[in-house]
């Protein structure tokens, strides 16, 4: 295993290498470079400057970097560069990109389609929630890049509608989640079927267990890690997996822990201070309950969980992005990979299940070079110590707030901002009054029988 750590900037840092010049030096064609410039232009991010050389060269790769740091573009450029200039056959894509959720798969497909337009590549998405017959019809025409969730891709492999014989590149987005208990078995099938393909894996949280699992399948794995400035001193590179932090990079550097006896009720009160916020709950059945409580206060809110239909899920994210709703209540479904701009507040209602969930959830604010918003956790007094330990493990500073103490209201105004008064809704005019005059009834007169 070859480790190439990069002691560069963190979430808001800027690399000195121009992305277009870097791609030209790596031999990427002019049409592909022009397509990349339509997605992002200017300086390459830290992870792009560190990992693009190995990715374009076709080496097995693991890129660990902050959320919103441009990891998707790393494997997108590499995939398009490797596939350019050759055709694909029906049902035999030459690249497979795997993502844990439907929303993340669709987002990756959009980036790949924009970059792949420079090489004339066809991208198709295969996710759950849509008929399998539709995917079969899509694969009748040649597909160069198949993007999908593990379950749907393995279903297509089992039925013989998808073949991996020509796959040259296999990309795993959110590799730690794909190798976890939820998708580990399905991901193992894809890794085994694409054993001769180049592996490009990205994540924001990779512990030594994830590195070891990938190294067993790809002994020549190159690891690039962009660490947070607060997690280690500049210029320092970890020499072993055990010395590397659990990807604290990308998470905002401060966590406000609110100790409340009733976290749900206090979270409802905080929603009035948020203009665009994500509220994360620990249980699927708690989504609708919290959403209804927030909506009852006059704050527009939407809720989405993994069991919701694809239409409802996409509609909820679109409403938050457009400003139609101010608050989106979700499980960990919205905690990974999704690129939502302008998130000012991330509220954990109850402690996250793991340190990885804390990092990914908190990384929904401060995407790319944007200024990170407020990240808070509303928990019971008995849970304060646990979530504080999780936050300090990834290098976050912790401020504990007790709302029952004096001047707590002033402190909350300073931390979360004042309450936002919802706009008044114009009262609709009353419908015209209906006439009280009774309707004239017709007298029934039976017809006389005709005599014959």
CB 56 within 8 A of CB 77: yes
Average pLDDT over residues 78-106: 93
SS3 327: strand
Number of H helices, E strands in the chain: 16, 15
In angstroms, rounded to a whole number, what is the distance separating the alpha carbons of residues 80 and 19?
A: 16
Chain-centre distance for alpha carbon 240: 29
Domains of the chain: 2-243 (3.40.50.300), 254-416 (3.40.50.300)
26-43 residue pLDDT tens:
999 999 999 999 888 788
Better pLDDT: 123 or 176: 123
> What angle, 0 to 180 degrees and rounded to 10, lies between the N-to-C axes of helices 71-83 and 102-116?
50
**CB atoms near residue 162 (< 10 Å):** 25
| pLDDT tens per residue, range 380-401 | 999 999 999 988 888 888 988 8
Distance between CA atoms of residues 46 and 49, nearest Å:
5
d(CA 447, CA 449): 6
Does residue 92 sit in helix, strand or coil?
strand
Rounded mean pLDDT, 147-169 = 94
**pTM exceeds 0.85 for this model:** no
pLDDT single digits (tens) 39-66: 887 888 889 999 999 999 999 999 998 7
- DSSP 3-state of 300: coil
| Structure tokens belonging to residue 215 | 């190294």
Find which of 219-223, 242-246, 403-407, 444-448 is predicted with most confidence, using mean pLDDT.
Answer: 219-223
Q: What is the pLDDT of residues 304-361, one digit of tens each?
A: 887 777 778 888 888 888 889 999 998 887 767 567 777 888 999 998 888 888 888 8
Provide mean pLDDT across the span 59-88: 91
Q: What is the pLDDT of residue 75?
A: 94
Q: Flag the least confident range among 132-136, 241-245, 341-345.
A: 241-245
Q: CA–CA separation, 10 vs 229, rounded Å?
A: 6
Closest CA to 205 of 370, 356, 392, 50: 356
Q: Is residue 67 within 8 Å of 79, Cβ to Cβ? A: no
Q: Three-state secondary structure along 138-178?
A: HHHCCCCEEEECHHHHHHHHHHCCCCCCCCCEEEEECHHHH
For 333-425, strand residue ranges (E) read: 345-349, 374-379, 397-401
What pLDDT shows up at residue 171? 96
Of 366 and 101, the structure prediction assigns the larger pLDDT to 101
Strand partners of residue 18? 43
CA-to-CA distance for 148 and 125, rounded, in angstroms?
Answer: 5
Q: What percent of the chain has pLDDT over 70?
A: 83
């Amino acid at each position: 295993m070859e480790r190439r750590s990069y002691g560069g900037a963190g979430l808001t840092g800027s690399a000195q290498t121009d992305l277009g010049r870097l791609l030209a030096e790596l031999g990427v064609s002019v049409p592909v470079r022009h397509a990349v410039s339509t997605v992002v232009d200017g300086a390459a991010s830290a992870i792009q400057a560190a990992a693009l050389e190995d990715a374009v060269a076709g080496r097995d790769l693991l890129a660990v970097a902050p959320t919103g740091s441009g990891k998707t573009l790393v494997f997108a450029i590499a995939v398009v560069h490797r596939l350019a200039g050759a055709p694909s056959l029906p049902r035999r894509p030459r690249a497979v990109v795997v993502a844990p959720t439907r929303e993340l798969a669709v987002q990756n497909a959009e980036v790949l389609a924009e970059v792949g337009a420079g090489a004339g590549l066809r991208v198709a998405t295969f996710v759950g929630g849509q008929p399998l017959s539709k995917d079969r019809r899509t694969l009748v025409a040649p597909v160069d890049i198949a993007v999908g969730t593990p379950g749907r891709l393995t279903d297509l492999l089992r039925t013989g509608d998808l073949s991996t014989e020509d796959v040259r590149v296999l990309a795993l987005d959110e590799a730690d989640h794909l190798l976890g208990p939820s998708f580990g078995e399905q991901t193992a099938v894809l890794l085994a079927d694409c054993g001769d393909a180049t592996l490009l894996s990205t994540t924001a949280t990779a512990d030594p267990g994830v590195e070891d699992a990938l190294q067993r399948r790809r002994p020549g794995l190159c690891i690039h890690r962009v660490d947070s400035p607060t997690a280690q001193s500049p210029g320092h590179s970890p020499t072993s997996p055990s010395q590397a932090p659990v990807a604290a990079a990308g998470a905002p550097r401060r966590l406000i822990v609110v100790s409340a006896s009733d976290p749900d009720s206090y979270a409802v009160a905080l929603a009035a201070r948020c203009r665009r916020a994500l509220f994360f709950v620990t249980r699927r059945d708690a989504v609708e309950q919290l959403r209804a409580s927030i909506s009852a206060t006059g704050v527009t809110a939407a809720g989405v969980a993994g069991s919701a239909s694809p239409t409802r899920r996409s509609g909820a994210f679109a409403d938050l992005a457009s400003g139609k709703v101010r608050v989106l209540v979700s499980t960990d479904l919205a905690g990974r990979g999704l690129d939502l701009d302008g998130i000012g507040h991330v509220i954990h209602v109850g402690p996250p299940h793991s340190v990885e969930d804390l990092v990914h959830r908190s990384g929904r604010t401060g995407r790319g070079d944007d200024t990170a918003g407020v990240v808070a956790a509303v928990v019971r007094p008995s849970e304060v110590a646990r979530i504080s330990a999780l936050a300090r493990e990834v290098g976050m500073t912790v401020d504990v707030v007790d709302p029952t103490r004096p001047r707590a209201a002033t402190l909350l105004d300073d931390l979360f901002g004042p309450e936002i008064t919802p706009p008044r809704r114009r009262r609709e005019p009353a419908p015209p009054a209906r006439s009280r005059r009774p309707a004239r009834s017709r007298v029934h007169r039976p017809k006389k029988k005709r005599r014959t």
